[in-house]
Amino acid sequence: MVRARFEQVSYNLAPGETTTRQKMTASAEAHPNIALVKYWGKRDLARNLPAVGSLSVTLADLCTQMTVDFDAGDSDRLIINGQEAPAMLSRVTRCLDLVAGVDRPCATVESQCNFPIGAGLASSASAFAALTVAANAAAETGHEALVLAKIAGAASGSAARSLYGGVVELSAGDDEIDLTQLAEADEWPLQVVVAITAEEEKPLGSGAAMIRSAETSPFYSSWIERQDDDLALARDAVAVKDFVALGEVAEHNCLKMHSVMWSSRPPIVYWNQATLACMESVRLLRENGHHAFFTIDAGPQVKVFSMPDAVDIVEEVLRKTPGVLRMLRTGVGDGARLIPK
Ligand code: 2P0
């Protein structure tokens, strides 16, 4: 376990007067997660409580590294991949307040992300999971993982799941969420190939899109009502490592969520032609006897799950699919953790 570093630094208070305070800093990394039973809809907007439970797989190779430095500057700062990022700052500030209290010193937060941000690859999940772990260590607040998950979830619903590795279920209670790790990262060697079909940021953020769906889609209420059935099917499939059963419920749940989006007013369509072409490629793979299933989030990228014996053919078929720009390939990863700075 890497501990937060505390350095003694001097601050000038007034001309000629100095004092010594602790400089509190720590770094953490977290991976995005891909939901197979999706979170779409909020029960409580102010607290960002999800309307439904969800079930996800944490990825191994996509990663956000976050350094939190409570450096007692005049205001919080956020730097993402070397650039000042004021747009996300208020969410970061609120998250730091929840971890370390509103009386905390101001912080400089630096984030490095090795995959596209805001493009339907759950970059906010890995970001806020890493942020809570780094802030918790830097401020020595000693919160346990479930508390950090709840704080991360208040910033970004899916971020709660990235505190944990492997296969994770988020339960949505009336008043708070709960999290259960259903399988460890090394328990089931699922493979994920992400087909990138567009690199730009999505036109509508998922938070606003969820609100629009709840207010306007005629299918929203049945989406909510059926979610527990899908969660039970997915949980059972994970328990016995039934890839085909997991794939069936995952594709069904994904298409149901997108039906809610499409039937919103105005419609929310994150897909492009390559998204559809990838779905067809997966169907053809299955027709040829290869076990694979897809899922798609609030963006045009297609995530294809397979077992190790099929991952090469999945990658080859997706590479040849019209409109696929590039691919990312990964296995199942661990939860958020501290790293050396
Ligand atoms: C999920 N998504 O379960 C679903 C599927 C996108 C589609 O969670 O508003 O960025 O910050 O709580 O976590 C993306 O939504 O939403 C998401 P907020 P978040 O992964």
Tens of pLDDT, residues 32-89: 999 999 999 999 999 999 999 999 999 999 999 999 999 878 999 999 999 999 999 9
Distance in Å, CA 245 to ligand 1 centroid: 24
Cβ of 218: how many Cβ atoms within 10 Å? Answer: 10
Every domain range in the chain assigned CATH 3.30.230.10: 24-184
Indicate if ligand 1 lies below 6 Å from the C-beta of 132. Answer: no
Indicate if ligand 1 lies below 6 Å from the C-beta of 168. Answer: no
Residue 260 has pLDDT above 60, yes or no: yes
**CA–CA separation, 160 vs 146, rounded Å?**
8
- Top CATH class, 191-330: alpha beta
Indicate if ligand 1 lies below 6 Å from the C-beta of 206. Answer: yes
Distance in Å, CA 39 to ligand 1 centroid: 6
* pLDDT, tens only, 87-127: 999 999 999 999 999 999 999 999 999 887 766 677 899 99
* Per-residue pLDDT band at 1 (split at 50, 70, 90): very low
Distance in Å, CA 3 to ligand 1 centroid: 31
- Top CATH class, 24-184: alpha beta
HEC string for the chain: CCCCEEEEEEEEEECCEEEEEEEEEEEEEECCEEEEECCCCEEECCCCEECCCEEEEEECCCCEEEEEEECCCCCCEEEECCEECHHHHHHHHHHHHHHHCCCCCCCEEEEEECCCCCCCCCHHHHHHHHHHHHHHHHCCCCCCHHHHHHHHHHHCHHHHHHHCCCEEEEEECCCCEEEEEEECCCCCCCEEEEEECCCCCCCCCHHHHHHHHHHHCCCHHHHHHHHHHHHHHHHHHHHCCCHHHHHHHHHHHHHHHHHHHHCCCCCCCCCCHHHHHHHHHHHHHHHCCCCEEEECCCCCCEEEEECHHHHHHHHHHHHCCCCCCEEEEECECCCCEEECC
Indicate if ligand 1 lies below 6 Å from the C-beta of 33. Answer: no
**CA–CA separation, 43 vs 45, rounded Å?**
7
Distance in Å, CA 124 to ligand 1 centroid: 8
Distance in Å, CA 261 to ligand 1 centroid: 13
**CA–CA separation, 178 vs 175, rounded Å?**
10
The structure's pTM equals 0.92
How high is the pLDDT of residue 119? Answer: 63
Every domain range in the chain assigned CATH 3.30.70.890: 191-330
Indicate if ligand 1 lies below 6 Å from the C-beta of 36. Answer: no
Q: Which of 58, 123, 158, 213 to mutate to test the pocket of ligand 1 (most atoms within 8 A of CB)?
A: 158
Distance in Å, CA 72 to ligand 1 centroid: 32
